[in-house]
Structure 1
Amino acid sequence: MVDRPNKPSAISPVGSAAAPQPSVDISSDNSRITARLPTGESVEVLLYGATVISWKNGNGAENLWLSEKAVLDGSKAVRGGIPVVFPVFGPPPKDHATSALPQHGFARNNRWEYLGKSSSESAPLSKSGAGDDTVKLDFGLYSSALPEDARKKWPYDFGLVYSVTLGREGLQTMMNVRNEGKEPFEFQVLMHTYLKVSDISKTTITGLLSAPYIDKVLNATAHTESNHAISITGEVDRVYHSLKQSTTSVLEDGKPRYDVVRDNLDDTVLWNPWTEKAAGMGDFYPKDGFKHMVCVEVGAVNSWTKLDGGESWEGGQLIKSLL
């Protein structure tokens, strides 16, 4: 892993070997991994795209929005949850090495390998006897495992390790990218998180004041955020970049609901399709589902990250559920 100064603390595991331990189950069709903590928190990851499709609190409350018509059979990217975008965000530029790839790249459209579970060896032990408080699931995607067509469109040797850590205080998702070849390559990465909210009309987003952003709804024009608390009253598709504050928060009725903390990522996409865009997406259902979700997507997408041969990069997020 890459050692970086001043990175936010990971979810701190505590536990006792004699106490109840987290459980990890592989589905009978080998399509998904489910992890549960002794205190009831759970996460479910589809191996297709390494897509997190469920994350629940200890009381069973779901934190992620998943379309009722999301395709989960590995035939297309999942609508909802946390899809992974790599190595390009949005439609690929015509003058870039990713130009032949589909929108949002190939990571969300390929099956990943489950590498196993683990926990921190340096974590302090719990004196309460409550058992381990975290479980980390690792998933891998490598250039050698890509279909030949994808290899031709982006012929670089790479290795991705995506770590999903479930804790009592939240969910952490981290991506490690390594250039396994000799030729340098450039990439973008994003975690397309669909957060579930009770009512979008009573939801506000904070932590983006004074941040520059590109507004894709307004012909990709440049703006600066002037609102401390952003309300969503129509289609929103903004790429906030060069962010100085690490945390973007989602509030419901003025009360904190989620904190999204970026780690080595400077950009955040804020997205809600609203009425017309939702109606045009066949896998978005119910059609008024936009009233109960908001995408706060951390990433490095406003520019390109370059890796020379043998180099690696790591970045991700910690989402805290504040119910």
Structure 2
Amino acid sequence: MNHSSAESDNRAAVEVIKDKNGIEQVVLRNQRGASAKVSLHGGQVLSWKTENGEELLFTSNKAIFNPPKPVRGGIPICFPQFGNRGSLEQHGFARNKIWAIDQNPPPLPNYSNGNAYIDLLLIPSEDDHKLWPHSFEFRLRVSLAVDGYLTMISRIRNVNSKPFSFSFGYHTYFSISDISEVRVEGLETLDYLDNLCEKKRFTEQGDALTFESEVDRVYIDSSNMVAVLDHERKRTFVIRKDGLPDVVVWNPWEKKAKSMVDLGDEEYKQMVCVDGAAIEKPITLKPGEEWTGRLELSLIHST
């Protein structure tokens, strides 16, 4: 793997840089010039760009980049919980920790050449154990393929002597033209839990989800593919997922956006979160067991 600076030859490149706080970030580039940037703060993907330099992920202009504050935008990893429960902070602690580059990752099957990728590792600290008394190894591979597809593979292993359960989400902020021009397909006829109605269960009636007010829903047992259509930009995000039965759809809309210090008042119009997740039925791992959750994002341009 090439950790030196990226040359302009035909190889995929992996470059380690530092942000203004001295936290390492990994820049992945494929042969065609597409790129992705992953911060060791949270194992969070902060940028995913096409070969033309077009940014596909939303990050707020008001995002706070000082750990342990989570960064508003990109793809935060929600573990060991999604949302609020008990003594843990919202969306768990994985997104606020400093991860390590994994020097000896176990091999992943069917891994073709030509991908620029990085393996990260999170092992709980003493402080984490006080909040969540379980031992685990969380391995994350982020990879950028020749065709520009962005893939994230999370492997969580129980190294406890007793079982534990968790929920999980890749909280993906897509950059869009305007929230009122966007629709999400692939959720038709699914049941969802509505977080704006005390998690009551409803069934999706529309053939596509469109936005005219705040949305905060967990769609249950979805198919492995969902699409976000951005009519104005003539592009569609395709989300493929494995091990992640649920889909979270979120947009804070005007009133909530104004109450969020790390989101601009009007920025809700330029973002939509559509997450591969496992929430409704938490994942339980016996000692020694491992769970894998895979997310693949791709972009289709329409005419």
Indicate yes or no: 2:137 matched with 1:140.
Answer: no
Structural RMSD (CA): 2.0
Q: Where does the alignment leave 5 or more consecutive residues of structure 2 unmatched? A: 1-8
Please state how far the C-alpha of 1:120 moved relative to its aligned partner.
7.7
Is the Cα contact below 8 Å between 1:187 and 1:305 reproduced in 2? yes
Indicate yes or no: 2:71 matched with 1:78.
Answer: yes
Indicate yes or no: 2:263 matched with 1:284.
Answer: yes
Q: 2:227 aligns with which of 249, 257, 263?
A: 249
In structure 2, the CA distance between the partners of 1:212 and 1:123, relative to structure 1 (3 Å rule), is closer
Q: Secondary structure at the match of 2:196?
A: coil
Give the residue type in structure 1 aligned to 2:173: Y
Q: Where does the alignment leave 5 or more consecutive residues of structure 1 unmatched? A: 1-18, 93-98, 125-131
Q: Secondary structure at the match of 2:134?
A: coil
- CA separation in 2, counterparts of 1:203 and 1:221? 25
Q: 2:202 aligns with which of 210, 219, 223?
A: 223
Indicate yes or no: 2:34 matched with 1:41.
Answer: yes
| TM-score, structure 1 as length reference | 0.84
Give the residue type in structure 2 aligned to 1:294: V
In structure 2, the CA distance between the partners of 1:156 and 1:117, relative to structure 1 (3 Å rule), is closer
Please state how far the C-alpha of 1:264 moved relative to its aligned partner.
1.6
Q: 1:155 aligns with which of 133, 138, 162?
A: 133
Q: Secondary structure at the match of 2:102?
A: strand
Q: 2:15 aligns with which of 11, 14, 25?
A: 25
Q: 2:249 aligns with which of 270, 274, 286?
A: 270
Indicate yes or no: 2:144 matched with 1:166.
Answer: yes
Residues 216-249 of structure 1: per-residue CA shift (max 9 Å, x gap): 1223221001111111111000000122x21110
Residues 145-184 of structure 1: per-residue CA shift (max 9 Å, x gap): x2x3321121111000011111224111111010012111
Q: Secondary structure at the match of 2:187?
A: coil
**Cross-structure match for 2:173:** 194
Q: Secondary structure at the match of 2:254?
A: helix
Answer with 149-158 or 199-208: which moved more: 149-158
Aligned length: 287
Q: 1:295 aligns with which of 261, 273, 278?
A: 273
Is the Cα contact below 8 Å between 1:247 and 1:262 reproduced in 2? yes
Q: Secondary structure at the match of 1:275?
A: helix
Q: Which ranges of 4 or more aligned residues in structure 1 deviate by more than 3 Å?
A: 116-124
Q: Secondary structure at the match of 1:27?
A: strand
Is the Cα contact below 8 Å between 1:117 and 1:136 reproduced in 2? no
**Cross-structure match for 1:15:** none
- CA separation in 1, counterparts of 2:74 and 2:36? 11
- CA separation in 2, counterparts of 1:321 and 1:283? 27
Is the Cα contact below 8 Å between 1:117 and 1:137 reproduced in 2? no
Is the Cα contact below 8 Å between 2:68 and 2:97 reproduced in 1? no
Is the Cα contact below 8 Å between 1:240 and 1:267 reproduced in 2? yes
In structure 2, the CA distance between the partners of 1:272 and 1:210, relative to structure 1 (3 Å rule), is same
In structure 2, the CA distance between the partners of 1:84 and 1:121, relative to structure 1 (3 Å rule), is closer
Is the Cα contact below 8 Å between 1:116 and 1:137 reproduced in 2? no
Say which structure, 1 or 2, has more relative contact order (CA 8 Å, 6+ apart): 1
Q: Secondary structure at the match of 2:48?
A: strand
- CA separation in 2, counterparts of 1:174 and 1:120? 9
Is the Cα contact below 8 Å between 1:174 and 1:316 reproduced in 2? yes
Sequence identity percentage:
35
- CA separation in 2, counterparts of 1:137 and 1:193? 19
In structure 2, the CA distance between the partners of 1:87 and 1:120, relative to structure 1 (3 Å rule), is closer
Q: Secondary structure at the match of 1:217?
A: helix
- CA separation in 2, counterparts of 1:71 and 1:261? 29
Is the Cα contact below 8 Å between 2:181 and 2:231 reproduced in 1? yes
Give the residue type in structure 1 aligned to 2:38: V
Give the residue type in structure 2 aligned to 1:23: A
Give the residue type in structure 1 aligned to 2:80: P
**Cross-structure match for 2:300:** 322
In structure 2, the CA distance between the partners of 1:82 and 1:117, relative to structure 1 (3 Å rule), is farther
Is the Cα contact below 8 Å between 2:37 and 2:48 reproduced in 1? yes
| TM-score, structure 2 as length reference | 0.90
Is the Cα contact below 8 Å between 1:162 and 1:174 reproduced in 2? yes
Give the residue type in structure 1 aligned to 2:142: V
Please state how far the C-alpha of 1:30 moved relative to its aligned partner.
4.3
Indicate yes or no: 2:239 matched with 1:260.
Answer: yes
